[in-house]
A and B are shown apart, each in its own frame.
Chain A
Amino acid sequence: MSLYYVQKLLYHLNRDPAQKQRFDDNKDIVLAEYSLTEEELHALKKPDIGLLYVLGVNGQILMHYATMNGYDWPQYIQSMRDGVTEHGPVREGLYAMIDGKGAL
């Protein structure tokens, strides 16, 4: 279980311009600094915003990573919907509180 580290990485990218620059320069070096599963690494590198949502990343953190990757707002919303269709309900965190599907 390393949802915590996925969110921590994204929190750092949102908040720390130097870490963001390092990530832009070489993703693998920065990703190696966090304890992440293969699935999480894949979701972060691709990036698969929908899968990150299903893994449980909080939208207040995820939204910024989507923007960083060029998603506009409708694309971001759609990617989460697609994520639930493809990978099933949210598995952990705040949105798993009820059924993880939201109001789809």
Chain B
Amino acid sequence: MSLVYAGTCCHSPAITSRGEMADPIVRAQLLAAFERQRQAIEDAEADAIIMVSSEHFANFFMDNMPTFSIGMADEYEGPIEDPNWLKIPRTTIPANPDLSLRIIKDVIQTVDVCFSQEWKFDHGMAVPLHFLTPNYETAIIPVNINCQALPISPLQRCWELGKALRKAIDAAPERIALIGTGGTSHWPCTPDSGKINNEWDRELIDHLINKRKDALLAYCDEKVYQDAGPGAFEMRTSVCIAAASEEQSGEVWFCEPIPIYATTCCITTLFQL
């Protein structure tokens, strides 16, 4: 059919691993926003979810780092992290290799994506899925954007990936939801871990929901690194979703700094039927 829902959510592993250590009121609001997004995907009767994330050296390494990759496996597994630490049980995640193939064939006409027939999900996918498809009944098509190893994917190309994904989604008979994960200020796994620049986050989210292409593509990597930390390079996933849903303005469903989760947790809706 076409795109039936698009949005973004956070993927900090601490949301599950250190879940109870946050302010219980703020945590309850975050979980309510995740539930609202889960319900929106269910109400949209999505046959599949294309999840755009930035993985953290779980599958891809600098021997052959794809700028973009799309999954085409028969099934996925995850989380790759210790399930006792992440507090998400290891499981098999359903796929749709036939739909993957059609999406890839279409996208590859304009954006040079790699494809992967083997993919272990890390927290970048596992945390959102834990809340959005808790029973693992919906087929997932993972998309990865390299936001970790220099040179990272240029923002302009992430925008074009979003456009290419949308065209491919609209050409498919299935009802498809599109979710981007991660991308607010954070300094993960560094001495600055826990630092948050909430003002920077709010400005980014405002550009995203208003689909301000020029503003989004004007972010410079050095300045992003300085203002919002290396974790903010993951804004590429949100930029991709904004491009795929450019015709509608979006809504912020949750956006609060949660220090124990080491980032501003955000949930937005960028497209609804």
Residues of A within 8 A of B (CB): 4, 7-8, 11, 14-15, 53, 58-63, 76-77, 80-81, 84, 93-95, 97-98, 102-104
Please tell me which stretch of B2-10, B58-66, B206-214 contacts chain A, meaning at least 4 of its Cβ atoms lie within 8 angstroms of it.
B58-66
Contact A60 B148 (CB under 8 A): yes
Name the one of A11, A81, A93 contacting B57, with C-beta atoms under 8 angstroms.
Answer: A11
Instruction: Choose one: B80, B189, B225; the contact of A15 (CB below 8 Å).
Output: B80
Asked if B195 lies at the interface with its beta carbon under 8 angstroms from chain A, I say yes
CA distance A62 to B57 in the complex (A): 11
Contact B191 A61 (CB under 8 A): no
A81 surroundings in chain B (CB, below 8 A): 191
Selected A-B contacts with CB under 8 Å, 29 pairs: A4-B62, A8-B62, A11-B57, A14-B57, A15-B58, A53-B190, A53-B191, A58-B57, A58-B149, A59-B188, A59-B190, A60-B56, A60-B188, A60-B189, A61-B57, A63-B189, A84-B191, A93-B150, A95-B190, A95-B230, A97-B150, A97-B221, A98-B226, A102-B191, A102-B192, A103-B187, A103-B191, A103-B192, A104-B191
Chain A residues with Cβ below 8 Å from B56 are 60
Which partner residue on chain A sits nearest B193 by CB separation? A77
Interface of A is mostly: helix
Residue from the list B148, B189, B195, B225 in contact with A97, Cβ < 8 A: B225
Residues 190-204 of chain B, each 1 if its beta carbon lies under 8 Å from chain A, else 0: 111101000000000
B63 in contact with A103 (CB, 8 Å): no
Closest to A61 in B: B57
Count B-side interface residues using an 8 Å CB cutoff: 23
Verify if B222 is at the interface (C-beta below 8 Å from A): yes
Residues of B within 8 A of A15 (CB): 58, 80
The smallest beta-carbon distance between B251 and chain A, in angstroms, is 31
> Which of B58, B80, B189, B195 is within 8 Å of A103, CB to CB?
B195
Distance of A84 Cα from B192 Cα, bound (Å)? 12
In the bound complex, residues from chain B placing their C-beta under 8 Å from that of A77 are 191, 193
Most chain A beta-carbon neighbours within 10 Å: one of B149, B189, B191: B191
For the A-B complex with A7-B61, A59-B189 known, give 15 more contacts whose Cβ atoms are closer than 8 Å.
A7-B62, A11-B61, A15-B58, A53-B190, A58-B57, A59-B193, A60-B189, A63-B189, A76-B189, A94-B150, A98-B222, A102-B192, A103-B191, A103-B195, A104-B191
Note all chain B residues with C-beta closer than 8 A to A4.
62
Which residues of B sit under 8 angstroms from A104, Cβ to Cβ? 191
Find the residue from A60, A63, A103 having the highest chain B CB count within 10 A: A60
A4, A11, A76, A104 pick with most chain B CB within 10 angstroms: A11
Q: Which residues of B sit under 8 angstroms from A62, Cβ to Cβ? A: 189
Indicate if the CB atoms of A102 and B187 lie closer than 8 Å.
Answer: yes
A interface footprint on B134-178 (CB within 8 Å = 1, 0 otherwise): 000000000000001110000000000000000000000000000
**Could you tell me if B230 and A94 are in contact, using CB atoms closer than 8 angstroms?**
yes
Bound-state CA distance A62–B230 (Å) is 15
* Docked complex Cα distance between A53 and B192 (Å): 13
Task: Tell me the complex Cα distance, A26–B79, Å.
Answer: 28
Q: Would B57 and A80 count as touching, CB distance under 8 A?
A: no
What is the CA–CA distance of A76 and B150 in the complex, to the nearest angstrom?
24
Query: Of B58, B148, B192, B221, which one neighbours A58 at CB under 8 angstroms?
Result: B148
